[in-house]
Every structure is written in C-alpha cells, then in structure tokens.
C-alpha cells in the first residue's frame, strides 16, 4: 500500500474537476492550505504549552528540594 501512481492521481483529479468544477479548485486548494496551516499552528502551540508546563514543574520540584535541603542543614 504505497503512494498512488500517476494514472490514479489523474483519475482523482478528473473526479475532483467533475465534482467541483475547474473554477472552484483554486479556492478548495487555498482553503485546504489554510486549514493545514492552522492545524500545524495549533499543534505547535500545544507542544509549547506542554513544554512550558514541564519546565514550571521541574522548577517547582527543584525549589522544593532546595528548601528541604536548607531545612535539613539548619537542623544538623
């Protein structure tokens, strides 16, 4: 199950032209491109949020360890 061959792509293109008409294809392509761009942006934003949350969690854990170490040092 690989990529479609050239004749298969031509059949798909012919079906698209028949369904939507030649004048609508640029609008469809533009809409698909915008949708893909928005989707990729949303994925990147989510990845950034996850990374920021991980960094914040690590910082909080580090502060907690330092505080506990200071308290232990004072008791000793």
Q: Are 59 and 67 in contact (CB under 8 A)?
A: no
Higher per-residue confidence, 38 vs 2: 38
- Structural domain contains residue 61: yes
Predicted confidence at residue 60, as pLDDT, reads 86
**pLDDT for 14-57, tens place per residue?**
998 898 888 888 898 899 999 999 999 999 999 988 888 888 88
Q: How many domains does the chain have?
A: 1
Domain around 11: 6-75
Q: Is 76 helix (H, G, I), strand (E, B) or coil?
A: coil
- Structural domain contains residue 65: yes
Taking 80 as the threshold, does the pLDDT of residue 76 lie above it?
Answer: no
Helices (H), 1-76: 6-20, 25-75
- Structural domain contains residue 1: no
Q: Provide the pLDDT confidence category of residue 3 given band limits of 50, 70 and 90.
A: confident
Longest dimension (CA), the chain: 83
**pLDDT for 5-16, tens place per residue?**
999 999 998 998
Predicted confidence at residue 1, as pLDDT, reads 62
Cα–Cα distances in angstroms (integers) from residue 34 to residues 2, 22, 29, in the given order:
27, 20, 9
């Amino acid at each position: 199950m690989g990529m479609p061959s050239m004749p298969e792509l031509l059949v798909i293109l012919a079906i698209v032209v028949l369904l939507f008409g030649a004048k609508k294809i640029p609008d469809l392509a533009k809409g698909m491109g915008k949708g893909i761009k928005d989707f990729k942006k949303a994925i990147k934003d989510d990845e950034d949020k996850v990374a920021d949350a991980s960094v914040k969690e690590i910082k909080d854990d580090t502060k907690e360890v330092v505080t506990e170490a200071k308290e232990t040092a004072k008791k000793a």
